[in-house]
Amino acid sequence: MNPLLSVSQLSVAYGGIQAVRDLSLEVAPGEMVCLIGANGAGKTTTLKAISGLIAPHSGSVHFDGQPLTRLPAHQVARRGLALVPEGRGVFPRMSVAENLMMGAYSRRDRAAIARDLDQVHTLLPRLTERRTQLAGLLSGGEQQMLALGRAMMARPRLLLLDEPSMGLAPLMVRAVFDIIRQIAAGGVAVLLIEQNAHLALKTCARGYVLENGVITLSGNAADLAANPAVRQAYLGE
């Protein structure tokens, strides 16, 4: 099977500092893949380069066989990639309902948008209860759910998730990851960045380990979780 996302030899520099070096990874259609590493390893930079928010110094990004490398972020999103950013990035002065519709801003298929909105409310009933509430007044977990719902309104084929568990209570982390698994079960591929390596490797089928901007290990999640170096560095064992 050809990969849905193919990143090859990607390098990104900030002011002379090499944040990511010669990074290559793949995500197959419908696959869940994680990218784990310490703070500052280059994980968020990688997602920003894939999604068009920053321009790589070199390398390439292909989605469904088509090049994305020099496209602006809004065109990348229209190809079928949706980014749920670190910190959730909801619009705090807009209602829950308005935030969800922002996810469909580039779509014109009103009947399909209405169907997708119904599906989001089925998947995330808490948002239905709060649809008239300002997003800024939601709890952190509810904002994460809203960010996921907004991304799904773009009808993505690939969901890019940046630290979805950050700042959430354990009970809410479980709820959010249950939702992510349901989204993936619906056929949406997932590339997950998550500092909780145990949770990431438990959730995903495959993973990559990023250290100082370089991929140092890759493989199926169970093998990575059993790797002594990964256990010591990221699993606290």
pLDDT digits (tens, 9 = 90+) for 100-119: 999 998 888 899 999 999 99
Note the pLDDT of residue 205. Answer: 96
All structural domains of the chain with their residue ranges: 5-91+156-234
Note the pLDDT of residue 237. Answer: 56
pLDDT digits (tens, 9 = 90+) for 125-135: 999 999 999 99
pLDDT digits (tens, 9 = 90+) for 151-165: 999 999 999 999 999
- Greater pLDDT, 189 or 109: 189
Mean pLDDT to the nearest integer, 67-88: 91
CA nearest to 51, candidates 23, 21, 81, 29: 81
CA nearest to 210, candidates 31, 42, 8, 17: 42
- Greater pLDDT, 108 or 213: 213
Mean pLDDT to the nearest integer, 199-203: 95
- Fold classified for 5-91+156-234: Rossmann fold (3.40.50)
Note the pLDDT of residue 108. Answer: 85
